[in-house]
Amino acid sequence: MLGDLVAGALADAARRREQRPLAAVEADALAAPAALDALEALAPSDRIKVIAEVKRASPSRGALAAIPDPAALAAEYAAGGASAISVLTEERRFGGSLDDLVAVRAAVSIPLLRKDFIAEPYQVLEARAAGADLVLLIVAALDDATLASLHALIVELGMTPLVETHDADEVRRAVDLGASLIGVNARNLSTFELDRDLFGRIAPLIPDGTIRVAESAVLGVDDVIHYRRSGADAVLVGEALVTGGNPRAALERFREVS
């Protein structure tokens, strides 16, 4: 599944590159306003931080929410106290687009994560041109050389890489990379099964001074409490916010967890 998602994302990027060449996107990226400081926004504090996600669908759950106005949803997230907003831009299985990211950027002034299957520099430059402050890098999808080069490019452009891991070996690769922001995803991207306790097992491998983000398997306050007690500085939440009916109230409850 992960290989198919990466291949599809690269094919879509190739299509966009035909319409807008690399040089033009690079010029847009370099001309964009400076990226916001995501590490400051997500820095550990006495209460957990929340990255709220604009998410229409997923391969495991199918359609979740139509989200006709992602900017309006993002504004609700910001009003509810989200520390950052994740925008899924993958088109085929998640129903997102770069247009969503552009719309959200125009609506809020907190850091934005481009969440997609990033595997080449063109996608990183697109993210910066569209206003992203963070870019997701999935360790399982990348060899060491590609991971290092993309990480370096993201940092060079003033953005922050969120380096996503799923097991102890991937955490070690992220640490060796010098990642400042490491996520642990409870969802196995090959089988799409969830393991909420995965974070607690491998988070101790993440060194002090690195921001720890728990991803997936957050359906309510109890899950946020579970992750916080396991050492999470932040949680990334999508499904619970887009399906719950009142994202601002849900965020306010999550943010109370200390």
Q: Given 83, 86, 97, 185, which residue is catalytic?
A: 185
Q: Given 53, 76, 90, 120, which residue is catalytic?
A: 53
115 included as an active-site residue: yes
Q: Given 49, 55, 97, 239, which residue is catalytic?
A: 55
Contacts of the segment 31-34: beta carbons below 8 A, 24+ positions apart: 32/128, 32/129, 32/131, 33/131, 34/158
Contact (CB, 8 A) for 116 and 3: no
Tell me the three state secondary structure of residue 102: helix
49 included as an active-site residue: no
Q: For residue 9, what are its two tokens?
A: 């994302």
Question: Which residues fall within 8 angstroms of residue 70, CB to CB, at 6 or more apart?
Answer: 54, 87, 100, 103, 104
216 included as an active-site residue: yes
Q: Given 115, 120, 126, 188, which residue is catalytic?
A: 115
Q: Given 164, 170, 188, 239, which residue is catalytic?
A: 164
Tell me the three state secondary structure of residue 47: coil
Tell me the three state secondary structure of residue 120: coil
Q: Given 170, 215, 230, 239, which residue is catalytic?
A: 215
Phi, psi of 83 (to 5 degrees): -85, -25
The residues annotated as belonging to the active site are: 53, 55, 115, 164, 185, 215-216
